[in-house]
Each structure stands twice: as structure tokens, then as C-alpha cells.
Structure 1
Amino acid sequence: MHNATNALNPTRGASSMARVEGVLFDIDDTLVDLNSASIMGFHQLTAEDFRDIPAALREHAAHDYADDCAGAYERYMAGELTFLGQRAERIRRAYGLVGVEAPPAEAIAVWSALYEDVVQSMWAPFPDVHDCLDELDALSIPYGAVSNNVEDYQRNKLLLAGLERIAVLVGSDTAGAPKPDPRPFHAGCRLLGTSIGATLYVGDNPVNDVQGAKSAGLQGILLDRAADHTTGSGGILQNLGLLASLIRGNSGFLGT
């Protein structure tokens, strides 16, 4: 939970922006609360195996899994692991943290499939997302999403999370490379029909999202709801509630 100071300053450090013609968002932990769903799903799948483990240690393992402290997802994005392989790495690490033997290799796929069913039922947008999109609609600013995941999978995620209104979507597979490569960002701009320099990218990863967007020629802003990131290359937005006001307040905005 943010402290009172942060709550009153949701754009702490946010710099002024140039004209914004369109907005592209990251999906996971920017629009959809994937972290909370992952933690809840992990607890449900490990309830029996971890029944004798102290609650604090169970919580630590769940957060380690959800935060991918194994660094396995980046290896998946680099082509070093399959999707199931990266999940297996995270499962084995989490079980090791609590001193419980991980499921055998032949059971990992079953664990993963059950986890997928559970976590998909828990996908939901953050409370500020629909209001933000409503305001962008009111400003006639088009928006979409660019994600480091398979496009069909992320389309289904948006649908299950009630965000089917986001029609423009670029996945790392259809773009030909994951962020921070410029190609996904540029593909998003083409689909929005906006110029690269006048497109704003909003995401929760300082490197893949903010630095990647800026290197690709877009504007970039870090969404940091936990206020635990530091960045010297742009502003920090602590929720999406004031995104539209930031856009309206920049000197290049031409509202209708």
C-alpha cells in the first residue's frame, strides 16, 4: 500500500511530454494484475505440498515464483527455454526455497496445466485501467498494447480480464522480437496509425518498457505502483489515474 505522500503525488518525478497522438501499454502488471493472480494460483497449487511449511516461507516462495527470481522468463524470451521449461525452472526454485522436493519432470506439465486453469480464472485489470481508457477515449486518443508474450495468449488474457476493448495488440511472436527491440514498438505505432515520436509507451519495466520505447523513438513513462523503481531516464507514474491529465497538460496537446 502506498503511503499518504505517494497517494497525493501519483506522478512523482514525471516529466512534461511532447504532443501525444497515441498510447501503447505493456499488459502484464501494467494493465492486468498478473502478479496477484500468479501468487494466488501458486498458493492453490502448492497447498498440499506445502501444508507443513510456515506461512511466511510459503509466502516467500510464492512471491519468488511470481516475480521470476530465477530469471527464467527472460531466457524463454531469448529462446533458451520453452514456455514450459521456464515455468519448470521457477517451480523447482520455489520448491527448493522451502526444502520440499519438486514434482518430477513428468508431473511438471500437469502442474503447469492446472496452474494455468487456476490463474486464468484470476486475471483481472487493475482498478485504474478502465477509467484511464475511458479518458483516452474522451480525448480521441487511440491506444493499444505491446507485450513480451505470444499474441494469441495475450489476446485471450485481455478477453478474460474484461479488456477486449483494446483492439490493437502486438506480441513478441508477431513482431519478430521481444522488447526492448524496436520492432514491437514500431509495429504498435503502425497499427495505431500514429507517428513514432508522438506515441507514448507506458509499462512497469524500466529497461524493456521505458528504455526500450525511448531507444525506439517513442516517448516512455514508467508505471511503478509499488514506487520501488528508480530511473534517471524519465518520469514515474504511480497509477494510471492521471495519465490523461498529463497528456492534456503537455504543451503540444491539441484537444477538441
Structure 2
Amino acid sequence: MGGGTAVESPGRALDGVLFDVDDTLVDTMAAFAAAIAAASRVWLPHLPEDRYDEVLALWRSDPNQHYRAYTRGEIDFDAQRMARANELQAAFSGRPLDDAAYVDWKDLFWGTFEASWTGFDDARPVVDALTAAGVRVGSLSNARVELQTRKLAAAGLPDVPLLVGVDTLGFGKPDPRVFAEACRRLGTDPERTAYVGDELDVDARAALAAGLVGVWLDRPGTRRGGPHPEDPAAARASGVVVIHGLAELPAVLAPTAG
């Protein structure tokens, strides 16, 4: 595992690390880019390929927070997915998707997305390093357990257990109960457990509020934009640890001397 810059230590050794899955261990942004491109070629045929990045940016920012509504248990998975698909169609002058068209859109989008799952280069090394050091490792996600278990396996991380998904308790992050349940299943106290995720509010700050060490993985070039808070200085001021790659994570586990 390559070296990283020094990061803030929580001041104590930690017994466990919980990871977010999407855009933390698995390069979901790249998989979504492939899926967006495939869907755009069919459903936005007038759109030049050099604008597909704009479609991806709108998809990831989810400005109307449909996915957050899903994780709160307010709407089902297909309802949020169809709403977001039709937002893309409207924003880029495509025809609206009715129920039948959405099924075709989803089949193309999802098939491409699933075939494109890969792990980040720094994911396997950091999991191995933590495990070798005796740190318990697991994952917690705002997607379904079965889906994320398959995703981790496809990304070469079948040994990272998906402890809690959105379907475990019927809701997801930032509710503190999901972090508490994940720690219970990992067998660690929340105050001696770090949670690492790519979203500052729903991952790092929510973990901190639940009594864990909140770690924001601010990978260069992967911020979502839109309504998501993404200010490193503000993150640090709120008590969040900020890292820019998983290779930096072991430094977070080193207690401060003195």
C-alpha cells in the first residue's frame, strides 16, 4: 500500500472500521458513467457524447434528493430511479419515460452498470492491512444488502461483510440507529469504530453524530456537487477526519502520543 499524507488522529486506537461501499470501496462513479453513456445513446440520441459528463453530473448530484427519500423509506427503489431517469430526459430534451419505456431504460442502464463494477486500487490493500493489524472490518450501505454483497464480490472484496443495508432496518444513513446496529454486528463499540464514506453529511458527519469516528473520503475529482456539503475546512472544523485516499486511513487509527 502506497504512502499517504498525515491525517488527523482521533487520539485513540480503534478496534473496527466500517466502510461505505459506493464510491468508497467500489468505483461506482465509473460504473454509472458507463451506464449513463449506454442509456444516453438510446434515450438521448441527439445529445453529443461530449455532454455525457453533464448527464452523469446531474445523476450523481440528485438535486431533488430522490435517493435520500428512498433511504428514509418514503418511496420505493423504482420510484426514485424512474423519477431520476425522467429528470435526465427533461434536462436534456429527451422524451418522457412512461412505465413501459422505463423498463427498457432500466434494463439497459442496470445491465451496463452491473457489468462495470470494479474496486478502487487502494481498497484491497487497505482492507488487508487493517485485517493484518487485527482491526475488524465491515461495511454499511444505503443500498440493499443483497445488491451490495454482489457488488463487493465483483470488486474483489467478498470478505468484507455487508453488515447493514437500507433493507436491514427499513431506513438508512444518516439515522444513528444504522451505525449502532452495524457496530453491534461488527462487535465493536461505536467510540472505537471509524466509518469511512465519500459523502460528508450522510457518511462522516452522521457517523460522528452517532458516536463513531467520522472519516470523509474526499477523493480528487469525485465530488457530487449539487446540494451536498463538500468543504474540507468545514468538515475538519466539525470534527470530521478528512482523507483523500484509502492509503491514508491507517494513520487515522494511530493514537496520538502523549
TM-score, L = length of structure 2: 0.86
| Whole-Å separation in 2 of the counterparts to 1:237 and 1:17 | 16
Which of residues 213, 237, 243 in structure 1 aligns to 2:243? 237
| Whole-Å separation in 2 of the counterparts to 1:161 and 1:8 | 22
Which of residues 44, 58, 65 in structure 2 aligns to 1:50? 44
Instruction: Give the aligned partner of residue 35 of structure 1.
Output: 29
Which of residues 160, 163, 174 in structure 1 aligns to 2:168? 174
Q: 1:112 to 1:49 in 2, by over 3 A?
A: closer
Backbone CA RMSD of aligned residues = 2.2
| Whole-Å separation in 2 of the counterparts to 1:133 and 1:74 | 28
2:80 is aligned with 1:74: no
* Identity, % of aligned positions: 31
| Whole-Å separation in 2 of the counterparts to 1:216 and 1:246 | 18
Q: 3-state SS of the aligned residue for 1:145?
A: strand
1:154-196, CA deviations, whole angstroms, 9 ceiling, x for partnerless residues? 1121122221010252112213431111221111111221112
Instruction: Give the aligned partner of residue 247 of structure 1.
Output: 253
Give yes or no for contact 2:9–2:251 (8 Å, CA) kept in 1.
Answer: no
Instruction: Give the aligned partner of residue 26 of structure 1.
Output: 20
Task: Give the count of matched residue pairs.
Answer: 245
The unaligned stretches of length 5 or more in structure 1 are 1-6
Question: How far does residue 199 in structure 1 lie from its aligned partner after superposition?
Answer: 0.6
Question: How far does residue 251 in structure 1 lie from its aligned partner after superposition?
Answer: 4.1
Instruction: Give the aligned partner of residue 100 of structure 1.
Output: 94
| Whole-Å separation in 1 of the counterparts to 2:249 and 2:204 | 15
The unaligned stretches of length 5 or more in structure 2 are 224-229
Instruction: Give the aligned partner of residue 178 of structure 2.
Output: 184
Q: 3-state SS of the aligned residue for 2:254?
A: helix
Q: 1:76 to 1:111 in 2, by over 3 A?
A: same
| Whole-Å separation in 2 of the counterparts to 1:146 and 1:17 | 24
| Whole-Å separation in 2 of the counterparts to 1:132 and 1:91 | 35
Q: 1:60 to 1:154 in 2, by over 3 A?
A: same
Give yes or no for contact 2:19–2:196 (8 Å, CA) kept in 1.
Answer: yes
